[in-house]
């Protein structure tokens, strides 16, 4: 029931990290991929991985904060069965030092672009009468953390949006869910996980005793995208090693 043969999946933030892992995992489950990222070189590398698994890959280099471009891409696709919104960012800093430029940048990337991308996909999926949308949230969408006031704000917004969109789209056969990982070793997290004290602090906070891996998250995404989750919508799958259970 986790097979996705014959389905078309669009993944944003597909060039590196969790987005790349999700794209490859979806291909292994049988989906053909539309890959979105700002870096053409990264996209070509991922496209090769997808094609090596016998699936089609269409790399599209664009900035997801460009609303017109993402709407046009979604509109021109021949079909869209699965959307995975992985593009996002973080600028860790004390609350009192957050600049309006950083605030605006993260709100645009982590909230507005997510809304616009989902809205565009929903228009296609509602007409088709089916579809699965998976948003990359975070454990920080369920709790708070010092130095991450803006990131927590944006991920709590994603969690609320997931629920509202799920309720509105459910009558049309479209499911909307989120995955909420703990700290996962990716290019985005590498700078602060390189600090030995911070890394040790994070591991101490995770009851299962290890950091997340990309494949931990991509497995959850494939599940939510597939018919194995046919009765799952409006939920957030915490992949946090027990962090939020404390």
Residues belonging to the active site: 151, 155
Task: Check: CB of residue 181 under 8 Å from CB of residue 139.
Answer: yes
Q: What is the 3-state secondary structure (H, E, C) of 153-182?
A: HHHHHHHHHHHHHHHHHHHHCEEEEEEEEC
Which uninterrupted H or E stretch holds 105? helix 100-107
Looking up tokens 């021949």 gives 78
Q: What angle do CA 155, 238, 207 make, to 5 degrees?
A: 115
CA distance 93 to 129: 43
Pairing of strands 174-181, 57-61: unpaired
Grouping H, G, I as helix, E, B as strand and the rest as coil, residue 58 is: strand
Three-state SS for 126-152 is HHHCCEEEEEECCHHHCCCCCCEHHHH
For 237, residues 6+ apart whose C-beta sits below 8 A from its C-beta are 177, 178, 179, 180, 220, 223, 224
Residue recorded with tokens 């509109």: 75
């Amino acid at each position: 029931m986790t097979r996705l043969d014959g389905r078309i999946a669009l993944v944003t933030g597909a060039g590196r990290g969790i987005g790349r892992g999700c794209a490859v995992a979806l291909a292994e489950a049988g989906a053909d991929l539309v890959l979105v990222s700002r870096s053409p070189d990264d996209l070509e590398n991922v496209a090769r991985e997808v094609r090596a698994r016998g699936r089609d890959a269409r790399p599209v280099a664009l900035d997801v904060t460009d609303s017109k471009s993402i709407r046009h891409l979604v509109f021109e696709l021949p079909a869209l069965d699965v959307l995975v919104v992985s593009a996002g960012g973080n600028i860790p800093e004390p609350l009192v030092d957050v600049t309006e430029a950083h605030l605006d940048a993260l709100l645009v990337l982590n909230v507005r672009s997510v809304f616009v991308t989902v809205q565009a996909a929903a228009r296609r999926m509602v007409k088709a009468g089916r579809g699965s949308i998976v948003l990359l949230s975070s454990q920080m969408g369920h709790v708070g953390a010092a130095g991450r006031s803006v990131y927590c704000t944006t991920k709590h917004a994603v969690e609320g949006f997931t629920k509202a969109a799920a309720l509105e789209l459910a009558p049309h056969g479209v499911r909307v869910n989120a995955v909420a990982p703990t700290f996962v070793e990716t290019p985005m997290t590498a700078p602060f996980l390189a600090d030995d004290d911070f890394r040790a602090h994070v591991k101490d906070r995770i009851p299962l005793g290890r950091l997340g891996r990309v494949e931990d998250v991509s497995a959850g995404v494939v599940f939510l995208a597939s018919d194995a989750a046919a009765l799952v919508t409006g939920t957030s799958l915490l992949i946090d090693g027990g962090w939020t259970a404390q």
